[in-house]
A and B are shown apart, each in its own frame.
Chain A
Amino acid sequence: MNTLTPQSILDKIKKEEIKPKAKWRLAFEHTLLWIPGVVVTTIGAIAVAGTLYSLSHSGWEYREFTHDSLFTFIIDAFPLLWLLSFVLFSSLIVQALRTTHAGYKLSLKRILFGSIIVSIIIGWGIYIADDTYKADSFIRFSVHEREKVLWDMPSEGRLVGIVEAVEPSYVTMRDEEGELWNVTMPSLSTTTFPFIVIGDPIRVIGTTTEENTFTACLVFPWEIGGVHPPLPVLKNIKKYSPIKMTPDCKVILETLKHFPRERK
């Protein structure tokens, strides 16, 4: 070095009054680097919660009555948007963590695996937590809208509506279009299904017998297993069918399983 010497550098430091950054300031800057990682992990966790909720209420239990095949069911039920969001945010987490102090030492696999695990744990926590979380309400809303479209199909043996009156062997319910239905349950008793409550939605599978009259062979609460059932589980559908199925209902249900579906 000819012109560049230790002294020339020290002189420049002195002349320009260059000082080392304070430790607190460096600590603050390092903390800021973590913010993008925390934000994307949180969003990834919400995507996990959305995925879990969507899967738990995908309608696996009665898919034979809603879909022609397992393939079409999977296409409909798979929370693709949530999963894509999760994949996107997982990759963003990698970028965010790489900028932190020691993040570069971790291989891509480790960062991805770690971020996925953390998102799943937090997402599961959001999923099982009390449903006053705004994220949970939003997720439930989107799943419910999908389900309402699928179940507002009396011509295909599916009906959904709000219970307006309850009698021992029939209920009156108002569907999504605002129409009133008398739902008779020849082999069911409303007293055996405590979820049939005025003001709450229910789903029924059966057949239309007359105008605005529906014969129900199976009846379900709107959310089988509650808001956050353990997941993913195949819930016991037998709980929602009569102890003794009438011959008519057996025929009706068998017919419905092979009924060609409309797509709204």
Chain B
Amino acid sequence: MSTISLLTDEELAGLSVSDTTYFGELIRRYGTILMRYTMRRSHASKEDAEDIVQNSFIKMYRNINDFDTSLSFSSWAYRICHNEMIDWYRKKKSRPQLYISHTDENIFDSIASDINIEKDILDREIKKEIETIVQTLDPKYQEIISLRFFEDKNYEEIADILEIPAGTVAIRLSRAKKLLKEKLEHFS
């Protein structure tokens, strides 16, 4: 294992200023993650998603001296990617939607457990319904659900990514789960 792979993200960020090799390691670590996040969050074409992610990394590199070490690099990377997606949507004059793929099915169990839906009623139909219901939620709730359940971020990380207070994250997540549960119970 090369020494570069032993370095933390934050150390790599600091070293990237003088040598792009270190930045290349960061791209390797976060490229796929951000692609998946972008595809899930925007349902953009593969080419558009690649553009968003590429622009995100370029922005990261340009602003690498601005990386706040009180944040995790992961939160900072997600934040930049999130903002790039917002810009992309503005250009497209549309709104972000959360798209759930078949590979995300195991996450439904996590959601079910979190909102106290009985697992035995979580059949295929309801799983499909979750996707529909989530897409009817306000984008700010979709974003929270996406980051909490699909990207497995904690409250503080979500606050740093979306640049909102942690208290607001908690409130929005609570409301999102409540709405999701109400609609699912109505359906079942």
Contacts and interface: CB of A to CB of B under 8 A. Distances in A.
B20 A1 contact: no
Contacts of A18: 58, 61-62
For the side of the interface on B, what is the size category? 20 to 34
A42 B28 CA distance: 48
A106 B31 CA distance: 31
Given A14-B20, A101-B68, A104-B163, A6 B27 contact: yes
Given A4-B53, A21-B66, A105-B165, A10 B31 contact: no
Nearest to B32: A1
B58 A12 contact: yes
A250 B126 CA distance: 86
- Top 3 A-B residue pairs of the complex, sorted by shortest distance between their CB atoms: A6-B27, A104-B163, A4-B50
Given A12-B58, A18-B62, A20-B61, A6 B24 contact: yes
B65 interface: yes
Given A7-B24, A10-B27, A13-B20, A1 B63 contact: no
Contacts of A107: 165, 167-168
Contacts of A12: 54, 58
Interface string A2-36: 01111111101110001111110010000000000
Interface of A: 1, 3-10, 12-14, 18-23, 26, 101-102, 104-108
A26 B159 CA distance: 23
A3 B46 CA distance: 10
**Considering residues A4, A18, A26, A105, which has the most beta carbons from chain B within 10 angstroms of its beta carbon?**
A4
Given A23-B65, A26-B63, A106 B165 contact: yes
Contacts of A13: 20, 23, 58, 61
A136 B81 CA distance: 49
Interface of B: 16-17, 20, 23-25, 27-28, 31-32, 35, 50, 53-54, 57-58, 61-66, 68, 70, 159, 163-168
Given A104-B164, A105-B165, A3 B50 contact: yes
Nearest to B20: A10
A20 B17 contact: yes
B165 A4 contact: no
A146 B28 CA distance: 70
A187 to B, nearest CB: 65
B159 A6 contact: no
Contact of B54 (A4, A22, A105): A4
A45 B155 CA distance: 36
Given A4-B53, A101-B68, A104-B164, 5 more contacts: A1-B50, A3-B50, A10-B27, A14-B20, A108-B165
Given A4-B53, A9-B57, A9-B58, A20 B165 contact: no
Given A4-B35, A104-B163, A104-B164, A10 B23 contact: yes
Nearest to A22: B65
B28 to A, nearest CB: 5
